[in-house]
Amino acid sequence: MTDRQIIALAGGVGGAKLALGLARTLPADRLTVAVNTADDFEHWGLYICPDLDTVTYTLAGVANPETGWGLRDETWNVLEAMAKVGGETWFRLGDKDLAKHLERTRRLKAGESLSTIMIDLARRLGTDTRIVPMSDQPVRTLVTTPGGELAFQDWFVRLRCEPVVRSVRFAGVERAMPHPALADLGAAAGVIVCPSNPFVSVAPILALPGVRDALKGARCPRVAVTPIVGGQAIKGPAAKMLAELGHDVSALGVARFYRGLIDGFVLDAQDAGLSPQIEALGMRVRVADTMMRDDGDKKRLAATTLEFMDELGVHS
């Protein structure tokens, strides 16, 4: 592995798409994808890492193309049997996907770290890209709603993101050690904030001790790709959260969230009119088609983002 890595910060489906484009564009030893683990939780007694698994399955080319999460050609016999015995079925674990959860849980219980396990599982599933958890220690996103505080997957999957979000916090984050790739962002060749949810995918990574400051201080080019196009989230509740947390529901709202942390913002062509306001935040803008419908789009957006980073260069 070379020490001049491009570090991509990613959550689930949106982040995984750009990560795939980057993995198809960069040599394997130049890319590290650092993935949010604050969505992780225990279900059916198993340790589930939705974002790590989504990124891994996507880069291995085995993800379910309809949902973006889980495996393609999945079967649901265990879930159906679980319903019969009165178990919980709101979080859908497929038969083949289960093998990964079982094996990861066994290895964690045997004392291996999540990062070691995930590097090995990613290779076995068919990707050489270095996909790392943001931390080996548990961090849990908790969402405050009018009805009280909810665990992230309860809010996201069981309640379909319906309860209004008043605030979000990351339990355990102050005790979690960032993965070395994040602790040492200053040594990176560049940092890409993938088009993931700023509040629940990227914010937990930035909240790890030292990471926000490391990103602020990094002299390498730092670029974010918008997850909001035409005032709507490409996928998931990002637009709803922008509104409920009091931000502008637009790419401008996202750019403001990253102000001081990035040098460049990749904005969708539909939102080109926001360029002057985003540039006024002290970052440069690249207008592009950010919708990633197929693998060609993912590679194009990755190439645009990398070219933009090259143009931005190092800064003081």
Would you count residue 263 as binding ligand FO1 (CB under 6 A)?
no
Residue 39 sits in the site that holds ligand FO1 (CB under 6 A): yes
Give me the long-range contacts of 258-263 (CB less than 8 A, separation at least 24). Answer: 258/193, 258/198, 258/224, 258/283, 259/283, 260/216, 261/193, 261/206, 261/212, 261/215, 261/216, 261/222, 262/191, 262/193, 262/222, 262/223, 262/224, 263/221, 263/222, 263/223, 263/312, 263/315
| Residue 93 is a binding residue for ligand FO1 (CB under 6 A) | yes
> How many residues of this chain bind ligand FO1 (CB under 6 A)?
16
Which of 47, 69, 155, 265: binder of ligand FO1 (CB under 6 A)? 69
Stretch that binds ligand FO1, among 90-98, 117-125, 128-136, 261-269 (CB under 6 A): 90-98
- The single residue among 12, 133, 195, 227 that binds ligand FO1, judged by CB under 6 A, is 12
Helix (H, G, I), strand (E, B) or coil at 62: coil
CB of 15 to ligand FO1, least distance (A): 8
CB nearest ligand FO1: which residue? 12
Among 75, 87, 92, 213, binds ligand FO1 (CB under 6 A): 92
CA dihedral over 57, 60, 66, 72, signed as positive or negative: negative
Nearer to ligand FO1 by Cβ, of 22 and 93: the residue is: 93
Give contact residues for ligand FO1 (rule: CB under 6 A): 11-12, 39, 50-51, 53-54, 69-70, 91-93, 97, 153, 156-157
